[in-house]
Amino acid sequence: MPDARISPRERLVLMAVVELYIATGEPVASQAVAHFFANREGLSSATIRNVMASLGEAGLLEQPHTSAGRAPTAAAFRYYVEQITQPSRQAAGAQTASTIRPGPSQLSDARRGQIEQSYTGVASSHEYLERTSHVLALISSGLGVALASSTVGQVLEHIHFSRLSTGRVLAVLVTQAGAVQDRALTLDREMTHLELETAARYLNENFRGWPIERIRAEVERRVEAEREAYQQLLASVEELCRKGALAGGEPEQAIFVDGMANLINTELDREHLRQMLIALEAKQRLVELLNAYVDGRQQEVRVVVGLDEASPAMQDLVLIGAPARLGSANLGTVAVIAPTRIQYQEMIQAVSYIARLSERILESPAASAPAQPGGVVTP
């Protein structure tokens, strides 16, 4: 809801109702809001009751039972998220998706320590994503989900370049899983047969057995570190990589999901819960959901309240997701899918922190060594 359609007093009461509802899970009465303010705002129970009635007419509060208090609607949760994050607002069909640039972590030292301890021993992108689904399920009231990018888990066996025409090159990529992928590249400059042969030899000799998502980042690093000694060679290799020689194909994306049991303890009625679990168990739908709402090219946290476009049974769920990266490589997406009654500020910061933690974990010496043949788990 635009700020122009809600008064400062209504905003104050609405924020209080949402926070009380998140804390208790119970419809909120006007007396509870008055107690929340403890007379600091000079609002009586009668005034608060009138404001809550106005918010109900605006579609921001609902009354589950005749004698009960009020509960926030999906629109109220969207407004709440907008207020606590001050995001750039983007339309997403009938929904509102908030995009938040990760700021300094507001997580407690204890929470950060718990998260980092959970990643002990992780040395590959596959392990990082698998562990992330468990960690996010553990610290949230919902599902922890981690979706690998299309190239995560693919390991280079051999690459070959051949000239097609002026400015166009065919890259043939063979992975250790036996997949053969070819891609026509359009280059910014002409390359000779010798340059293409030398670039392929460099990649094959230096990066055979490396996860594909890490090679381009390492080539970029070497371009900066060794530019003087190998300027011409590395410039050719970097150009070919930048144009997509190592982009890989589009195999089935690996997705890790943990915490389904968390949702069984929600306040949803049995039939609604059953339909929601059926929707969430369809992993391809989760893949489509994450791909639709989280842009792997951006370093942002995305919050989507109400997932009914994916399935009507998911209308009471919220998605908080962010891309995980390693240099310029997109490792995948990490996310929490949970009931709308969630600790938004903590979960937004936790998802952001874990997404950025991938750089530190996978740049460690243990993760920097190239994978050995036969020792890589592929999706």
CATH number assigned to the domain comprising residue 284: 3.30.450.40
Structure tokens at 27: 């419809």
Q: Specify if 248 maps to a domain.
A: no
- Do 268 and 353 fall within a single domain? yes
How many structural domains compose the chain?
Answer: 3
The domain boundary residue, chosen from 201, 217, 242? 242
Give one word for 86, left, alpha or beta, with left for phi > 0 and alpha for psi -120 to 50.
left
Q: Specify if 285 maps to a domain.
A: yes
Q: Which domain holds residue 204?
A: 156-242
- Do 217 and 270 fall within a single domain? no
The angle subtended at Cα 191 by Cα 199 and Cα 221, nearest 5°, is 45
pLDDT tens for the 379 residues of the chain, in order: 444 478 989 999 999 999 999 998 889 998 899 888 876 667 788 889 999 999 999 999 998 776 678 999 999 999 999 888 864 443 333 344 555 444 444 788 889 899 999 999 888 778 898 999 999 999 987 889 998 876 555 778 899 999 888 888 898 888 776 667 788 888 888 888 888 898 899 889 988 888 877 787 787 777 666 655 555 556 676 777 776 666 654 455 678 888 887 877 666 666 666 777 777 777 777 888 888 888 766 667 889 988 877 777 778 889 999 998 877 667 889 999 988 888 998 999 999 999 999 888 877 433 444 433 322 222 2
- Do 20 and 58 fall within a single domain? yes
- The pTM score is 0.67
Q: Specify if 379 maps to a domain.
A: no
- Do 117 and 204 fall within a single domain? no
- Do 269 and 166 fall within a single domain? no
Structure tokens at 345: 């500020």
Task: Provide the pLDDT for residue 252.
Answer: 58
- Do 132 and 230 fall within a single domain? no
Helices (H), the chain: 8-24, 30-37, 45-57, 74-85, 109-118, 125-139, 193-207, 212-225, 231-242, 260-264, 270-281, 283-293, 344-362, 365-368
- The enclosing domain of 64 has a CATH number of 1.10.10.10
Q: Specify if 214 maps to a domain.
A: yes
Given a contact cutoff of 8 angstroms between Cβ atoms, the answer to whether 128 and 214 are in contact is no
Q: Specify if 317 maps to a domain.
A: yes
- Do 165 and 228 fall within a single domain? yes
Q: Specify if 80 maps to a domain.
A: no
Given a contact cutoff of 8 angstroms between Cβ atoms, the answer to whether 135 and 152 are in contact is no
Given a contact cutoff of 8 angstroms between Cβ atoms, the answer to whether 87 and 19 are in contact is no
- Do 202 and 119 fall within a single domain? no
pLDDT in tens, 106-121: 788 889 899 999 999 8
The domain boundary residue, chosen from 218, 242, 266? 242
- Do 284 and 357 fall within a single domain? yes
The domain boundary residue, chosen from 211, 242, 273? 242
- Do 297 and 312 fall within a single domain? yes
- The enclosing domain of 179 has a CATH number of 3.30.390
Q: How far apart are CA 76 and CA 160, in angstroms?
A: 55
- Do 258 and 332 fall within a single domain? yes
Helices 270-281 and 283-293 pack at an angle, to 10 degrees, of 80
Q: Specify if 84 maps to a domain.
A: no
Q: Specify if 343 maps to a domain.
A: yes
Single-letter amino acid code for the residue at 317? L
Q: Which residues pair with 161 in a beta bridge?
A: 171
- Do 286 and 226 fall within a single domain? no
